[in-house]
Structure 1
Amino acid sequence: MKRGSILGYDLNEKYCQISYYDEAKDEPETLEVAVDNYQIPLMLGYYKERWVFGKEAKRLATINEGCTVTDLFHRAMRREKVRVGAKNHDAVWLLAKFISLTLEGFKDIEYITFSVPFTNIDMSKMLKGIGQYLGISKECVCVQDYKESFCHYMFYQPKELWQYESALFYCDAQEIQAYMLRRLNAISGRGKDMFVTVDEVANARMKELAAIYPVLNVDKAKDADERFKTFIQSVFEKKVVSSVYLTGEGFENNWYPNSLKVLCNGRRAFLGNNLYSKGACYASIRKCRDYDEGPIYLDETKMTEQICLRMRVNGHEGWYPIVAWGTHWYESDGQWEVILEDTSDIEIHVETLAGEDLQVETVSLQGLPERRDYSLRVQIEAMFLDERTCKLTFRDVGFGEFFPSTGFQVEKVLHLGGINGQFNSMS
């Protein structure tokens, strides 16, 4: 079977899961490791000078052969050293080894999105570095959390399933968490952009769950079903919900028949455990196709400001973002080359979603030579120093053999509002 080169990779402390874009079906497919089982245990083994992973590593641990490593996810995040046999290894290297083994069946990976329980600058750097270890350029590696993956998954579902709010329930052996996808109140004058977010709206620890998973206890199941039903009713109170998704190992046993009736009352409900990897794969598809239409996902970690320059692109003149809202500041560095029509000052617009104010900045190009016939080529570089500070650099890079670079360079530091407090004002 031919597998795709556009991937979504669900990674957490217990397992990984891989979805890939199937061009024939024009949608993601999830890699099966057994019949109706997509989850690869996050475990690495070493036996007779050979690395193994997943179920084979689990079998080594069971029969007490070779060396096995568990808790790879957290060990890598803590940058630990791990002894395997007679050698010490960086935990990040071990995680990279595990990921590379799971992806051996995929050749010439074009784009990969990692979906993880949480993300931050350290997580992003680690997984982009692992991507480079696999031979994938960092520009073709994306890192997003589970909430954003849910959002991307929903973008590709029929519109009626997220016409109003859409709910996601996650359940493991001890806890149920409820998330809600909803639209944000955008500021007027922001074009046709639609902004959405995913909130964790409730969670409950239910001691009955430990008794019913994985062995079903009838009395405990009835108690858990009743508590889950009450939990659902509290989550849905005063909300119009179009669809419901159930994911997590805790939903594998059918212990919640009465709760299911509430879930399906006037809405569609879906059960499955590959939503996050498929959502990540959909995100990769959007990146590969440069698909800018559709909703923009925001949360408290995303930028609610964008930096725009007036440019002509494909014959259309307008204000184009070089740093777009809806991105993480630590992933927004970039470099572009433009042809200037004249040597007048460059005007920069900083738009915000948290208000109607427009920040206008000007960069003087005094010192650049005047050239005709669009022969003045300038490189623009955006570099974030922190979440509130972006440095723009404009350099004359010359025009081939006709006009060598003059060495002209000018910098502009933009002080942004940052992410604190702005996202909440859109809710």
Structure 2
Amino acid sequence: MTKRCVVGYDLNEKNCQISYYNENMEEPETMEVASDNYQIPLILGYYKDHWVYGQEAKQLMEFGEGNMITDLFQKAVKRKKVQVGDKIHDGVWLLSKFISLTLKHFEEIDCITFSVPYTNVDMSKMLKGIGRHIGVPGERVYVQDYKESFCQYMFYQPKELWQYESALFYCDAQEIRAYMLRRLNTTGGRRSDMFVTVEEVANAHMKELEAIYPVLNEDKAKDADESFKSFIQNVFDKKVVSSVYLTGEGFENNWYPNSLRVLCNGRRAFIGNNLYSKGACYSSMRYAQKYDEGPIYLDGTKLTEQISLRMRIAGQEGWYPIVSWGTHWYEADGQWEVLLEDTSDIEIHIETLTGEELRVESIPLEGLPQRNDYSLRLQIEVMFMDEQTCMLRFKDMGFGEFYPASDFMIEKELHLGGINGQFNSLS
């Protein structure tokens, strides 16, 4: 039984993988399900009123016993209904059951980050709901895609490995995809901030891969090696690459010796299949420790604007963000309480990474009761209607038994520049 820890959970259509960390460990470890095997097949089994998962469920399926449920990821995403025995279960419930069984060895999870091939508002809501169902508070459940997991993984590697660009190659039985981690050119933001992104820069469907995977065919392997070598050379053309990472089941057979020599020419190369779960675990470490230093990951789905209020926190006065750039708009809602000094309005600063111009908005507090300094307690609530519309709500909460709450409430709608168009201008 593993006690209090943070978890990174790689989840895709075929398998899941779990990395974890606690304060007694030097770095995250990946949970082994067998000797040198970290992948858990995404299969549920139901036999004699008992649920099983992974390899055990796979064995039942091979023996033709009990009820087997496959394609759990897609069934959950599409909200399909599945009959198991004499009961009908929702696809999200089945995926939640699978996840809870895989995490049964963890006594208490402080924070969990799910790493998935893609993310959107529906995926985020589904996985946050599953996180709450297995006992992790909703505010401690995070969702990120594979590209961000690669980025978070790199943040914890030696700086020389991502001093310039860093490459990730993924290979399965049919195709190879190439990704690059690179720094963004921003005009806004603090000078100390570093903004980075991961982009898919190339992909190729290689017929030769079908012949060499999973059984190696020597002649086809040579052809595939030459094709992959040309693919690498095109990807690396006019780029300075510090390190290369190979992941995916297609790289398990050593069919690419000539390509490997190109990959390792003047750079470090690594191979493994636990990069995404470890990257998610590193994210969980940052969230649990409230660690805000280091690079900020951006992509076409994240906000490139930041909304700040002037506040004094722990004796330090400054402009503090209530909405931070690098956040998904559907995860940017929040609520705070502040003590107000004698003021007639609240000033808001909106910074954008696509320009140096600072936008200032003023919210008048007409109708707010007159009280002594620091006895005006306001609730500030941030609600995003969509990626371009943010609603701010200010509400009088009173001050204990001394001052009851009034009916004062004022709202301010902010129109932002959206996401994709702004992000594209940073490239």
| Cα deviation, residue 334, structure 1 | 0.2
- Residue in structure 2 matched with residue 78 of structure 1 by the alignment: 78
The 3 A distance-change label for structure 1 pair 3 and 276 is: farther
- Contact map agreement 2:11 2:116 (CA 8 A) in 1: yes
- Residue in structure 2 matched with residue 415 of structure 1 by the alignment: 415
- Contact map agreement 2:342 2:373 (CA 8 A) in 1: no
Separation in 2, partners of 1:420, 1:257: 40
| Cα deviation, residue 88, structure 1 | 1.1
- Residue in structure 2 matched with residue 164 of structure 1 by the alignment: 164
The aligned amino acid for 1:37 is N
Separation in 1, partners of 2:393, 2:26: 41
| Cα deviation, residue 399, structure 1 | 1.0
| Cα deviation, residue 381, structure 1 | 0.2
Separation in 2, partners of 1:131, 1:52: 20
The aligned amino acid for 2:279 is G
Separation in 2, partners of 1:215, 1:275: 25
- Contact map agreement 2:188 2:352 (CA 8 A) in 1: no
Report matched runs for 1:124-273 at 5 Å.
Answer: 124-188=124-188, 190-273=190-273
Separation in 1, partners of 2:397, 2:304: 32
- Contact map agreement 2:396 2:408 (CA 8 A) in 1: yes
Report matched runs for 1:101-112 at 5 Å.
Answer: 101-112=101-112
- Residue in structure 2 matched with residue 119 of structure 1 by the alignment: 119
Separation in 2, partners of 1:181, 1:11: 22
Q: Secondary structure at the match of 1:88?
A: strand
How many residue pairs match? The answer is 427
The 3 A distance-change label for structure 1 pair 121 and 22 is: same
The 3 A distance-change label for structure 1 pair 191 and 318 is: farther
- Residue in structure 1 matched with residue 51 of structure 2 by the alignment: 51
| Cα deviation, residue 366, structure 1 | 1.2
Q: Compare 125-134 and 365-374 and name the one that shifted more.
A: 365-374
The aligned amino acid for 1:313 is I
The aligned amino acid for 2:236 is F
Normalised TM-score (structure 2): 0.98
| Cα deviation, residue 420, structure 1 | 2.8
Unaligned runs of 5+ in 2: none
Separation in 2, partners of 1:25, 1:98: 27
Q: Compare 51-60 and 402-411 and name the one that shifted more.
A: 402-411
- Residue in structure 1 matched with residue 25 of structure 2 by the alignment: 25
Separation in 2, partners of 1:258, 1:209: 16
- Percent of matched pairs sharing the same residue: 74
Q: Secondary structure at the match of 2:28?
A: strand
- Contact map agreement 2:336 2:381 (CA 8 A) in 1: yes
The aligned amino acid for 1:309 is L
- Contact map agreement 2:188 2:354 (CA 8 A) in 1: no
Q: Secondary structure at the match of 1:173?
A: coil
Deviations 1:278-306 (A, max 9, x none): 00000000001111110000000000011
- Contact map agreement 2:3 2:108 (CA 8 A) in 1: no
- Residue in structure 2 matched with residue 96 of structure 1 by the alignment: 96
The aligned amino acid for 1:147 is K
- Residue in structure 2 matched with residue 284 of structure 1 by the alignment: 284
- Contact map agreement 1:343 1:370 (CA 8 A) in 2: no
Q: Secondary structure at the match of 2:95?
A: helix
- Residue in structure 1 matched with residue 15 of structure 2 by the alignment: 15
Report matched runs for 1:302-341 at 5 Å.
Answer: 302-341=302-341
Deviations 1:57-93 (A, max 9, x none): 1011100000000001011100110111221110000
Separation in 2, partners of 1:368, 1:269: 62
The aligned amino acid for 1:318 is G
- Contact map agreement 2:380 2:395 (CA 8 A) in 1: yes
Separation in 2, partners of 1:8, 1:382: 28
| Cα deviation, residue 3, structure 1 | 5.1
Q: Secondary structure at the match of 2:366?
A: coil
Separation in 2, partners of 1:26, 1:128: 28
Q: Secondary structure at the match of 2:49?
A: coil
Q: Does 1:399 align with 2:399?
A: yes
Separation in 1, partners of 2:7, 2:426: 32
- Contact map agreement 1:4 1:20 (CA 8 A) in 2: no
- Contact map agreement 2:188 2:353 (CA 8 A) in 1: no
Q: Secondary structure at the match of 1:374?
A: coil
The 3 A distance-change label for structure 1 pair 189 and 55 is: closer
The aligned amino acid for 2:391 is K
Q: Secondary structure at the match of 1:27?
A: coil
Report matched runs for 1:352-391 at 5 Å.
Answer: 352-391=352-391
Q: Secondary structure at the match of 2:29?
A: strand
Q: Secondary structure at the match of 1:423?
A: helix
| Cα deviation, residue 221, structure 1 | 0.5
- Contact map agreement 1:3 1:20 (CA 8 A) in 2: no
**RMSD, matched Cα:** 1.0
| Cα deviation, residue 189, structure 1 | 5.5
Q: Secondary structure at the match of 2:109?
A: coil
Separation in 2, partners of 1:237, 1:143: 33
Unaligned runs of 5+ in 1: none
Normalised TM-score (structure 1): 0.98
The aligned amino acid for 2:280 is A
The aligned amino acid for 2:394 is F
- Contact map agreement 2:340 2:373 (CA 8 A) in 1: no
Q: Secondary structure at the match of 1:239?
A: coil
- Contact map agreement 1:302 1:327 (CA 8 A) in 2: yes
- Flag as ranges the 4+ runs of structure 1 deviating above 6 A: none
Separation in 1, partners of 2:191, 2:392: 26
